Amino acid sequence: MAYEVTLITGDGTGPELAEAARKCVDATGVEINWDEQEAGVDIMEKVGTPLPESVMESVRRTRCALKAPITTPVGTGFRSINVHLRQELGLFACIRPCKYYPGVRSYFSEVGVDIVIVRENTEDLYAGVEFEAGKPETSQLIDFINSLPSDKKIKTKGEETGVSIKPMSVSGTQRIVRCAFEYARKNGRKKVTAVHKANIMKYSDGLYLKTATEVAQEFPDIEFEERIVDNMCMQLVQKPELYDVLVLPNLYGDIVSDLGAGLVGGLGMAPGENLGPDGAVFEATHGSAPKYKGLNKVNPTALILSGMLMLRHLGEMDAADRLEKAVAAVIQEGKDVTYDLKPNRDDPSAVGTQEMAAAICAKLGG
C-alpha cells in the first residue's frame, strides 16, 4: 500500500533536513508518494506569500504532512506559518515526546527521561486575538474594559499598551484533555498531569483545571493530578522521572516542551506531531536555524523522529519501531553523528546532516 504524504520543505536548514528525513522514512520500506511543497521566506520572495494555497490544498488532500522547519521573524514580518497551519487545518493537539536516547549529552542521562507533552494548539494567547498599541481599536477596547462594573482595570493608555486576549473554552479543554488520556491509554502510560496557572487566572486557567478534572473522571484507569506551571518547571528539573503525560494550554505547552527537550539533550532531539479530526502534520520542535543554511551541519534527529511518529500515525508500527531503533543505535555508537551529539562539540570526527541520515539508513538496510 502506498501512502500520500505532503512534504513541506521549509526554509533555512529546512530543505536539507527534509531530504534527510525523507531518505530515512523511505529506507524503512514503507511506500510513500511524496507531494513536495515549498513554504517560508524563500518561496515568499518568489510568489509574495510564505504559505501558497497549493500547500494547504496538498495537506487537505493527503491529510498527512511531514514539515521541515520554517522561519518566523521575531516581532516583525509575517504571522507564524506553524500557527496558521494548525488553526486552518484544525490541528488542535500538539504531541511532543521528550525521550532520552543513550549517547546524547544530558545532565539527566542517568534518569532516563521519557515524558510526553500534550499541548492545546488553537486557543489561549496564541489564538492571535491581539490589539496593537497606538491603534484606535486598542484604545476603544481599553475604554470598554474600564467602563465595565468591575475592579479589573487597564491603567495604562491605548497609545502605549498592547493587548492580547486569552480565550479558553470548555469544549477546547475537553478535547485536548481527552486526547491526552486517550494517548496515555493507547500507549500504556499510567498518569496524566494537567498544568495550569489557575491560582491567578481563575476564569481562564481556572476553567481549564475544572474541565480537566471533570474529564479525568472518564478515565478511572489512568492516574490524574494537577500542577501549577511554575512549580511544574521546577519539578521537571528536580525529578522528571515522576511524570508521564503532561497536558497543557497553548502557551505553557510551548514553553514546557522546550524545557522537556532540554532534559533529553536539546531541540535537536525533539520531534512533534499536530493532530486534528481531518489530518496530521509532523514537525521538529526546533526552528529553521538560517545561519546554518546549506552547511550540512545541523542534527536531523528531530525531523527523522517526527517521520517515525508519522509512520505510527499511518499504522506502520513495525517500520516506526525499526526507524527509532536505527536512530538510537547510531546515536549510541556516537560515530556518525553531528557535532552537537559529540562529547566535544569541536570534535573533528563529527559528520554532517546527510551523513548521519545515511548511517541511519544503513542500520535499516536501506
Report long-range pairs for 151-159 (Cβ below 8 Å, ≥24 apart).
Answer: 158/133, 158/134, 159/133, 159/134
Kindly name the residue from 107, 190, 230, 335 that is annotated as catalytic.
230
42-74 burial, b at 16+ Cβ within 10 Å, e below that, comes to: bbbeeeeebbbeebbebbeebebbbbbbbbbee
Kindly name the residue from 23, 67, 99, 197 that is annotated as catalytic.
197
297 is an active site residue: no
What distance in Å separates the CA atoms of residue 354 and residue 298, rounded to the nearest whole number? 9
100 is an active site residue: no
Neighbours of 264 (CB within 10 A): 25
Query: Across 16-100, where does the E strand assignment appear?
Result: 31-37, 64-67, 93-99
Which single residue is written with the C-alpha cell 529506507?
A: 27
254 is an active site residue: yes
What Rg do the C-alpha atoms of the chain give, in angstroms?
21
Q: In this structure, are residues 265 and 107 in contact, taking their beta carbons and an 8 Å threshold?
A: no
Kindly name the residue from 254, 340, 342, 363 that is annotated as catalytic.
254
Helix axes 317-333, 353-364, angle to 10 degrees: 120
Closest CA to 167 of 82, 250, 255: 250
| Integer angstrom CA distances of residue 245 from 36, 113, 204, 225, 240 | 33, 12, 22, 10, 11
Kindly name the residue from 100, 101, 126, 208 that is annotated as catalytic.
126
Which single residue is written with the C-alpha cell 506531531?
A: 273
278 is an active site residue: no
What distance in Å separates the CA atoms of residue 329 and residue 247, rounded to the nearest whole number? 30
- Catalytically active residues, by annotation: 126, 197, 230, 254
